[in-house]
Chains A and B, each alone.
Chain A
Amino acid sequence: MPALVDIARAFTPRFEQVPPHDAKSASWGPRVGSVVLLDAGGLSRLFGTAQELGEHLRDAISKQSPGDTNPRIAMASTQTAAALLALGSPGLTVVMPGKEAIALAPLSIHVLDQFENLSNPHEARGTRHEAPSSAPGTRHEAPSTSGWHHPRSTHQASRRPKRALENRLLEIFTKWGVKTLGALQALSGSEIHERLGERGAYWQSLARGVDARPMVPWVDDIPFEAALELEWPIEGLEPLSFVLARLLEPLAERLERADRGAATIYTSLRLTSRRVFTRTLPLPAPMRDPKTLRTLILLDLESHPPDAPVDTVRVFIEPTPAKVLQWTLLERAQPAVEQVSTLTARLTALMGAGHVGAPALVDTWRPGAFTMADFRSQIADQLPKVDRSIENQSLNLQPAVDQQSAICNLKSALRRFRFPIPARVVVNEGAPVRVQVDRQGFSSGAVAQAAGPWRTSGDWWNTPGPRSNASAPSAALGGSAAWDRDEWDVAMTDGTVYRLVVERGVGQWFLEGVID
């Protein structure tokens, strides 16, 4: 059968194997043959008339398998008619459009049973008792050919299943004296339906050559991979972008045909130094726009360039089912995933890794701790309810102020200096009274009023060494360095409010931030 599929592929990309190849290999076995249906639409310019196309097919089959001198080929305007004719009459049969019923009339009614078995191999096995099958003689043969019995099916097979009416159609028609498809065609449709139900009417429509379902073309199970060996090694990303475009466009087309999106892109570059440089790019959501994919690969390579000219470019895409999103009319439209991914990739290339994303809180008491997460636009984001407790905390200023409706109440922002700014602080009776900062743009001088200290410490149980600076970036990002410090809020005479910290281990003062 693979040979037949190869022949079909040589003629047209639209063909179907009946039964499907997976069903056949799993349950049907080699004993019962199968039919390959070709969509001959649009082939006349290549192969001529239907008769000529049929002859081409016959020659190709004869060439492929010299022993088979008389292959069964049928050309008809419906797939059902073509399949029945191929099953029922040897050699090449060509039927003019509209003459299907006449051509099918002399065929034995047993052809319908064969066709039914091909179309529904699982049902024909008899494992599903409710499934229709009209061939009592063949229904239980298939499992025995596979050589393996599921314990449950063996148990079921030991009991003869009770056959439904529709499973005995062939028997009934034979008893009625209906031996050919022509005789079945001649019966009254309404009376068949009255006596045999939907199944009987379905058989009659098959006998007339009417299609019961559309054609399902074969999909090749080949990996989403493309490679290009270059005549001359290329350096730089600009020429590489053209190569990637050439590779990604057909891949994206295939992804679209298969209704798949790229989950991960693997880019392998064989360098002139005989080294293979590989980059793996996981994508936040399935996407298949070739321009977006190319941009993402290029931006990734821009941040991590290969160290030698490129000889061969290979792209492998790990496919995943395409994402189906139901947008809502009640919320603001969210930007496309492709847009967000491209933007974050561009920004990452510009600002560096770890400098772009959505901040996320860390479960720690460390002041200013956070971590960076991927920024993704999600319509299903559950917006947290506003914390009313915080809102209620806000500003217990003078009651007279709250009563004024013209007041704009806000929560204070803290501008945190990610790297602590060293300060010289004069302390009187344990409280800072003067702050001196060498850096330009910061207030220095007498402290108008100070509040504190608030002492915090933590992670000392994890770090046996000397306690380090809690304000260092690694610590802010949720590192494990211990901290032990006192915090002060100080108002300078010019109205600026700083948050000062003193590292207790070393006694050094720092500006941690400004309340703004």
Chain B
Amino acid sequence: MAARAAVEALLRERKLDRTLTTNLPERLQDEAVAPVGTDALDHALSGGVPRGHVSEVVGPSSSGRTSVAWAALAAATLRGESVALIDTFDRFDPPTAHACGMVLSKLLWVRGQAISKTTGAIDPAWLPGVRAVNGPGTFMERVIDRAIKALNLVVQSGVCTMVVIDLIDVPANALRRLPASTWFRIERAIEGSDTAVLILSAIPVARSAGGRSIQLGGDRPHVIWKGHHDRTRRVAGVRGRASIGAARWSDAPSVAIATSIVNVV
């Protein structure tokens, strides 16, 4: 015990006491987090997604990963904050997002390029010969590169308090090829600000020291059906679990996630 006290005193003397686990607050200040809007998840996250840090939402298909990210965006827009979504492959569906409670006028939607087999379906602005497409690499790499550049621009501007980058459909090998400095740069850009960055992907990508990892789909997602007859049956929602991870957390709290289908018609 005495040795521990001596080490702690030494760390404080050298102004390294931030690394002490004893200094970790039980719950972050209200201003330091962006609540997701659901009590259970906010409780597990110690208040919400930390501002000034990079967090991530990770999971397989239909595990509710996109729903979690949209919930965070919707909660922020309902608080009157401006938010941004860097949609790498143009997967965002505005009518569904509106039905999920998102205030669309508060959302800066940066649409990437939807990948298609036919070049005719690609926006002409993305074809070779047009500005910023002349970079190296494949078409896929250029799409990812643009998304990262867009993320940099948004976080450096400080306009939006929550920024989500959707990397779900990016192949794992392409994600691994991204240099680590990419995420360090983002972390440095938002450090000390009230911007929270959320990376949405299928596999863990990056998370800053103070960020959170929301890992969904530990078990296989359980689809909930309603109706017994073939003609009346419909998907009601999906149930799964999310485990929350953070640096220096000895145990990852787990929370049950239940998503419900909203009818946008």
A residues apposed to B, CB below 8 Å: 302-303, 331-332, 334-335, 339-340, 342-344, 346-347, 349-361, 365, 367-370, 372-373, 375-378, 381, 383-384, 386-387, 390-391, 393-397, 401, 404-419, 431, 440-441, 443, 448-449, 451, 472-473, 489, 491, 494-497, 513-516
Contact = CB atoms under 8 A, between A and B. Distances in A.
B235 interface: yes
A372 B92 CA distance: 13
Given A397-B237, A473-B121, A516-B61, A411 B259 contact: yes
A396 B226 CA distance: 9
Contacts of A404: 256
Main secondary structure of the interface of B (DSSP, over half): mixed
B132 interface: yes
A355 B111 contact: yes
23 contacts: A331-B80, A335-B158, A347-B108, A360-B104, A381-B103, A390-B101, A395-B237, A396-B226, A406-B255, A408-B40, A409-B260, A410-B38, A412-B64, A415-B93, A419-B118, A440-B171, A451-B227, A473-B114, A494-B61, A495-B60, A496-B61, A516-B65, A516-B168
A412 B109 contact: no
A394 B71 CA distance: 14
Given A351-B150, A352-B123, A370 B94 contact: yes
A440 B171 CA distance: 9
| The 9 nearest A-B residue pairs measured at CB | A395-B260, A352-B125, A359-B94, A413-B66, A516-B66, A418-B114, A419-B116, A370-B94, A408-B40
Quick one: which of B70, B130, B217 has the most chain A CB within 10 A?
A: B70
B110 A410 contact: no
A405 B39 contact: yes
Given A332-B80, A351-B111, A516 B90 contact: no
B105 A350 contact: no
Contact of A347 (B66, B81, B153): B153
Contacts of A347: 108, 110, 150, 153-154
A516 B159 CA distance: 28
Interface in B43-93: 44, 60-71, 77-82, 90-93
A360 B154 contact: no
Interface residues of B, number: 97
Contacts of B114: 417-419, 473
Contact of A497 (B62, B108, B150): B62
Nearest to A379: B80
A443 B71 contact: no
Contact of B96 (A342, A414, A472, A495): A414
B181 interface: no
Contacts, number: 275
B44 to A, nearest CB: 8
B188 interface: no
A377 B82 contact: yes
A449 B223 contact: yes
Contacts of B116: 419
B106 A358 contact: yes
B95 A361 contact: yes
B40 A395 contact: no
Nearest to B85: A359
B165 interface: no
A514 B61 contact: yes
Given A365-B265, A393-B260, A418-B91, 13 more contacts: A351-B150, A359-B92, A370-B94, A373-B105, A375-B107, A377-B82, A395-B237, A396-B226, A408-B38, A411-B100, A412-B237, A416-B93, A495-B222
Quick one: which of A335, A353, A376, A418 has the most chain B CB within 10 A?
A: A418
A356 B258 contact: no
B15 interface: no
Interface in B117-150: 118, 121, 123, 125-126, 130-132, 146, 149-150
A188 B112 CA distance: 82
Contacts of A441: 169, 171
B103 A349 contact: no
A358 B107 contact: yes
